[in-house]
Structure 1
Amino acid sequence: MESLCSVFLIRWIECITSTFDIYCSIFDIRFFKVSFIDQAGSPLARGDFMKIACIISMFIIVLSADIAGARAESKSSGIGRPPADNRAVEHEFVFVRAIYTNYPGSDGSGLGHGYSGTWRQWWETDFSDADRNLLRGLQRYTTMDASSKGFKAMSLTDPMLFEYPFLYINMKRIPLYSGNGPDFKPEEAAVLREYMLRGGFVMLDDFWGPEHWQDFLLELAKIFPDRRPERLPIDHPIFHSFFDINKITQVPGRGVTWGFGMGFVLDSADFPTAVHGVFDDRGRLMMTVNFNTDLGDGWEHTFDEFYPTSYCNAAYKIGINTIIYALSH
């Protein structure tokens, strides 16, 4: 009978740990395995099995409660808005992400994409893990007063936008060759123009291919009808403001690293990666345009064991260098 109980406990614990592994994979928790042999090489006693089972059961109960609470909070936060816990804690540097009008001209209810069981807007792409992780990188590698909670998502028409010198805009357009993403209203374009001419810095990211480049030029013309982007040479100071970057690495979306590129092949000659800049009348760089690359995914998937670390490193270097340059010029 004792042996039968032990076998039953082993099978039950294996079932629980299997469920635990699934939760780990979903929520990006590093795996650990429960061993049924102790360090001396002897089978664990029945009491030890009970202790292990109780610990794992308690973990799953607590995790399930947290998941249920997070889902309820997400549903109550409203479509197109950051969850309630995505509120900035002010530090010396705050990473501000722009909330813009989505193509085809609807504000907060236009075309978007499905993500984690909710419908999100294009400006929300990679939010807020990308923002948090880049701030962690700033905190780790620089002496800047930054925190993983030091981020905001702000409407382009929010008058408080001018309190923050750095603005990130995700230009996500999926799939390739499609028409979606930002469609700036006149008042949004006017704010962006004034923001940059008054000293603010804008960083654009994550759009691909000649069709989307033409879309970008149309949006830029709304802001600056008389200005064109210029490709930045590798010896430009922005590539050496903190890290020395001697090559612009193409940072892929996570789907590409899984072999699901939706028509895109990494390092394809059809999608050459480059960083372009827009300058004011005095030659000050006031906007960087990261084209044919997805820096946001490089930041977002820092702790994803299936996303190559080399791409994360490249994304962090560009992100940190851009912020350092923006704040020192």
Structure 2
Amino acid sequence: MVALVVMATMSSLSAQRFGGGRFVPGGRVSPYDGSFTFARLSYDYYPGWSYDYPEMEQNLGGILSLITNMRLNAKGTNILRMDDPELFRNPIAYISEPGYWYPSDAEAATLRKYIEKGGFLIIDDFHYENEWAVFDAAIHKVLPDAKVVRLEKSHPIFNTFFEIPSLHIPYPGSWGSAASTASSTASTATTTRPSRCASSSTTTWTSATTWNGAAAASTPWIRRTKPSSS
């Protein structure tokens, strides 16, 4: 089964670096120790592939630490070329700004094998028809027989863990994207999971984005409710 998630959103630019391990152009590769490390894939166009690095990795790690018991590599990061054999040690890989992504034959072949072996690929952050056309050509070079299908809100993926009532999430840079506007348009998702403690508790995540050194936070758009285990 091929797992491929495509998200068309906007994001802010960050070129920070963090983590340990060997240095590679554009970032570092953490020594493999069996813990989960999110892998970002780089390509020739810079800074497109590095958007929201390392904030996106840090945010995802924070969420995973709240809702799973996974052993996470909290300090490290992986930035890999698409034809790097180390890719197969990472269950989830991420491509940013695919509107500027032109994979080589070797990169396409390795990424195809990665997906066919069960790798989960997230592709995010692009818009406009010209960028979609570049992405469409790239993904069909990787998966020649692939068919891109839009998932409707009724698809189980939007209700399997979180209940997501709306697919319209405000993003920085959109018209009227100030915190007040985001507050009025943010959607709320809820899910129920067993609590480890005796009393009931609620964990709320607030959508926040930083640009030009200032943080703008919207109202909570994902809410996780943990009922009492007793």
TM interval, short-chain normalised: 0.5 to 0.7
Residue of structure 2 in register with 1:98 after alignment:
41
SS at match of 2:162: coil
Residue 81 (structure 1) aligned with residue 26 (structure 2): yes
| Separation (CA, whole Å) in 1 of partners of 2:164 and 2:77 | 26
Aligned positions of 1:144-155 closer than 5 A? 144-155=70-81
| Separation (CA, whole Å) in 2 of partners of 1:306 and 1:196 | 36
SS at match of 2:93: strand
- Does the 8 Å CA contact 1:100/1:182 hold for their aligned counterparts? yes
Residue identity (%): 27
Quickly say closer, same or farther: Cα 1:145–1:241, change in 2 above 3 A.
farther
Residue 136 (structure 1) aligned with residue 55 (structure 2): no
| Separation (CA, whole Å) in 2 of partners of 1:220 and 1:169 | 11
Structure 1, unmatched stretches of 5+, are 1-69, 72-76, 103-111, 113-120, 174-180, 261-265, 267-297, 318-329
Residue of structure 1 in register with 2:113 after alignment:
194
Residue of structure 1 in register with 2:82 after alignment:
156
Quickly say closer, same or farther: Cα 1:185–1:299, change in 2 above 3 A.
farther
Residue 158 of structure 1 aligns with an amino acid whose one-letter code is D
Is the radius of gyration larger for structure 1 or structure 2? 1
Quickly say closer, same or farther: Cα 1:219–1:251, change in 2 above 3 A.
farther
Quickly say closer, same or farther: Cα 1:236–1:149, change in 2 above 3 A.
farther
SS at match of 1:228: coil
Residue 125 (structure 1) aligned with residue 51 (structure 2): yes
From 129, 138, 151, give the equivalent of 1:232. Answer: 151
SS at match of 1:193: helix
Moved over 6 A (4+): 257-260
- Does the 8 Å CA contact 1:89/1:150 hold for their aligned counterparts? no
Aligned residue-pair number:
176
Residue of structure 1 in register with 2:141 after alignment:
222
Spell out, residue by residue over 1:236-256, the C-alpha distance to the aligned partner (whole angstroms, 9 max, x if none): 23223321112212342x333
- 1:183 deviates by 1.0
SS at match of 1:222: helix
Residue 41 of structure 2 aligns with an amino acid whose one-letter code is A
- 1:299 deviates by 7.1
Residue of structure 1 in register with 2:126 after alignment:
207
- Does the 8 Å CA contact 2:209/2:215 hold for their aligned counterparts? no
Spell out, residue by residue over 1:111-134, the C-alpha distance to the aligned partner (whole angstroms, 9 max, x if none): x3xxxxxxxx32111111211121
Residue 308 (structure 1) aligned with residue 227 (structure 2): no
SS at match of 1:308: strand
Q: Where is the strand percentage greater, Structure 1 or Structure 2? A: 2
- 1:308 deviates by 3.0
- Does the 8 Å CA contact 1:139/1:147 hold for their aligned counterparts? no
Q: Where is the helix percentage greater, Structure 1 or Structure 2? A: 1
Spell out, residue by residue over 1:27-68, the C-alpha distance to the aligned partner (whole angstroms, 9 max, x if none): xxxxxxxxxxxxxxxxxxxxxxxxxxxxxxxxxxxxxxxxxx
SS at match of 1:306: strand
- 1:89 deviates by 7.9
Quickly say closer, same or farther: Cα 1:244–1:145, change in 2 above 3 A.
farther
| Separation (CA, whole Å) in 2 of partners of 1:301 and 1:241 | 30
| Separation (CA, whole Å) in 1 of partners of 2:39 and 2:154 | 27
- Does the 8 Å CA contact 1:131/1:300 hold for their aligned counterparts? no
Residue 219 of structure 1 aligns with an amino acid whose one-letter code is A
- Does the 8 Å CA contact 1:93/1:150 hold for their aligned counterparts? no
From 164, 167, 176, give the equivalent of 1:245. Answer: 164
- Does the 8 Å CA contact 2:208/2:217 hold for their aligned counterparts? no
- 1:206 deviates by 0.1
Structure number with the bigger relative contact order (C-alpha 8 A, sep ≥ 6) is 2
Residue of structure 2 in register with 1:61 after alignment:
none
